[in-house]
Amino acid sequence: MNTKTVVPAELSGAVTVPGDKSISQRVAMLASLADGTSKVTGYLNGEDARSTLSAMEQMGAKAEFRDGALFITGVAGKLRSPDEPLNMGNSGTGTRLLAGLVAGAGIEVTMIGDDSLSSRPMGRIRQPLELMGAHIGLTGEKGTLPMVICGGKLQGIGYLLPMASAQVKSCVLLAGLYAAGKTTVIEPRPTRDHTEKLFQALEIPIKIDGLEISIEGFGPEGPKYKARDFTVPGDFSSASFWIVAVAVRPGAELLIEHVGLNPRRTALLDVMKRMGADIEITVTEEKGDPYGTIKVRGASLQGTVIEGDEIPNLIDELPIISVAGALAEGQTIIRDAAELRVKESDRIAEMVKNLRQFGVDVEEKEDGMIVTGPAVLKTPDAVIDSHGDHRIAMSVAILNTFGTGPIAIENVGCVDTSYPEFWEHMEQLGGKSE
């Protein structure tokens, strides 16, 4: 069924969230290029991570799930042209990063995706890749998929990113692997640095100087590095749904272990703490991409302002932050977040519409919203449609755990892109959906 009915419930308890989507997809790409076999523990068994892995298999990598792990045998820098278009499903990360990875690999690749992905802007990666010498055709109406990449010989560039985007940054750095000379990107604001951390782990020559990141290219012959094993921590973005669900409910408690704690991903914790949340973090592993344990005890929260440098480090959490805002006392102001309009859906418009259906006082802004709480929630008159956006579906489900009656959410199949166990975990924490 592509519809779920969610009933109000008090969520509390312990949960282990599935592997990080951003890290899983980067590991799939980099292990597939390596020389030898990598054992990957904790790889996300979600659709986005699977479509990226399948794409790498279509270009010559071998992947096998056995003994609770994923084994990837790489092509030692030598990708081959896939026989069929790569179907990237819903994955913006897979598409944008892979475009960079294959741009200088001397192969021809076509990428397609679902309706949501096919409406997302790809000009932002075509521009730097063409500056490096790649041939990128975007045959969709507005600089969108399908995308055709015909391998060109790439030259390293210096590129000032026009927007704070880890996907564009990573795309250019991955293209830099096959380029001649040095490729440098400069970010306007810090964004998630999983690509950089994996380059370091694989001993790929990368230099990080504040917001300036450089990589020495291996040239058209492709990168040469040895395979290694990887452990993917739980996805902080998936954990954020439970963190908010518990943090705003006095008396509730939550324990999440082995979850990613990369500071470029966890700005939601700073926001929640500012709002008055009782959250305790223990870092278990600091090296590489850090992970550890999060404990939350529910409390009454107050509104806050979320803007500026904080935005890229909680960009995927803004829908659930707007839910926290609805339940907190006073105004929660989100600004500088216009990028939300070009995610899996227009997340500003969708959340504003959905919050209003629940009776929440919310004002839409071009680059964010102002939510005034605490709302006296009502049961929406109409069915809620996720419009194929996983984070909208999960945010609305969490909101209705505070609701007044059952609600139906349509088009929830998209939850499987990042968090197939979401509904099961909701029940584990005392919720109910059917």
* 235 touching ligand S3P, by CB under 6 A: no
The nearest distance, CB 165 to ligand S3P, in angstroms, is 4
332 forms part of the interface with ligand S3P (CB under 6 A): no
Instruction: Report the DSSP beta bridge partners of residue 231.
Output: 41
Judged by beta carbon, residue 230 or residue 358, the one nearer ligand S3P is 230
By CB under 6 A, is residue 51 in contact with ligand S3P?
no
CB count, 10 Å around CB of 364?
A: 14
Q: Is the peptide bond before 82 cis (omega within 30 degrees of 0)?
A: no
Among the listed residues 24, 54, 95, 165, the single contact to ligand S3P using CB under 6 A: 165
Helix (H, G, I), strand (E, B) or coil at 100: helix
Q: Which stretch binds ligand S3P (CB under 6 A): 8-16, 80-88, 160-168, 213-221?
A: 160-168
Amino acid, res. 162: P
Site for ligand S3P in 341-370 (CB under 6 A): none
Of 5-13, 159-167, 177-185, 401-409, which part binds ligand S3P (CB under 6 A)? Answer: 159-167
Residues in 178-207 at the binding interface with ligand S3P, rule: CB under 6 A: 191-192
Residue type for position 239: A
Binding segment for ligand S3P (CB under 6 A), chosen from 126-134, 162-170, 174-182, 267-275, is 162-170
DSSP 51-92: HHHHHHHHTT-EEEEETTEEEEE--TT-----SS-EE-TT-H
Count CB atoms within 10 A of the CB of residue 22.
28
Residues comprising the chain, all counted: 434
Whole-angstrom Cα distance, residue 367 to residue 307? 10
Nearest distance from C-beta of residue 183 to ligand S3P, angstroms: 17
Question: Is residue 400 a contact partner of residue 6, using CB atoms and an 8 Å limit?
Answer: yes
Complex with ligand S3P: residue 199 or 402, whichever CB lies closer? 199
Residue 114 vs 402, nearer CB to ligand S3P: 114
Residue 17 CB, shortest distance to ligand S3P, in Å, is 15
Q: Is 22 in the site for ligand S3P (CB under 6 A)?
A: yes
Residues 28 and 218: beta-carbon distance below 8 Å = no
Cβ-based neighbours of 141, under 8 Å, separated by 6 or more: none
Taking CB under 6 A as the rule, does residue 170 contact ligand S3P?
yes
Active site residue 115: no
Nearest distance, CB of residue 93 and ligand S3P, angstroms: 4
In the complex with ligand S3P, the residue whose CB is nearer, 249 or 347, is 347
Q: Are 38 and 229 in contact (CB under 8 A)?
A: yes
Catalytic residue chosen out of the listed positions 114, 193, 235, 316:
316
Quote the least distance from Cβ 336 to ligand S3P, whole Å: 13
CB under 6 A: which stretch of 164-172, 346-354, 378-386, 419-427 binds ligand S3P? Answer: 164-172
How would you classify the pairing of strands 62-66 and 69-73? antiparallel
Q: Single out the residue of 35, 216, 339, 346 in contact with ligand S3P (rule: CB under 6 A).
A: 339
* Minimal CB distance residue for ligand S3P: 22
Q: How far is Cα 140 from Cα 132, in angstroms, rounded to an integer?
A: 22
Q: How far is the CB of 231 from ligand S3P (least distance, A)?
A: 18
State yes or no: residue 214 binds ligand S3P (CB under 6 A). Answer: no
Residue with Cβ nearer ligand S3P (170 or 240): 170
Distance from C-alpha of 333 to C-alpha of 131, rounded to nearest angstrom: 38
What is the torsional sign of CA 271, 274, 276, 282? Answer: positive
Distance of CA 5 to the CA centre of its chain: 26
Site map 296..325 versus ligand S3P, x via CB under 6 A: -------------------xx---------
Closest by CA to 294, choosing from 328, 334, 265, is: 265
Question: What phi-psi label fits residue 361: left (phi over 0), alpha (psi between -120 and 50 degrees) or beta?
Answer: beta
Indicate which single residue of 32, 167, 214, 372 sits in contact with ligand S3P (rule: CB under 6 A). 167
The least distance separating ligand S3P from the CB of residue 342, rounded to whole angstroms, comes to 8
Q: Do 224 and 76 contact (CB within 8 A), yes or no?
A: yes
Tell me which residues in 73-102 interact with ligand S3P (CB under 6 A). Answer: 93
Total residues contacting ligand S3P by CB under 6 A comes to 11
Cβ partners under 8 Å of residue 111, min gap 6: 55, 85, 86, 88, 95, 98, 99, 145, 146, 147, 149
Catalytic residue annotation: 316
Q: Which residues bind ligand S3P (CB under 6 A)?
A: 22, 93, 165-167, 170, 191-192, 315-316, 339
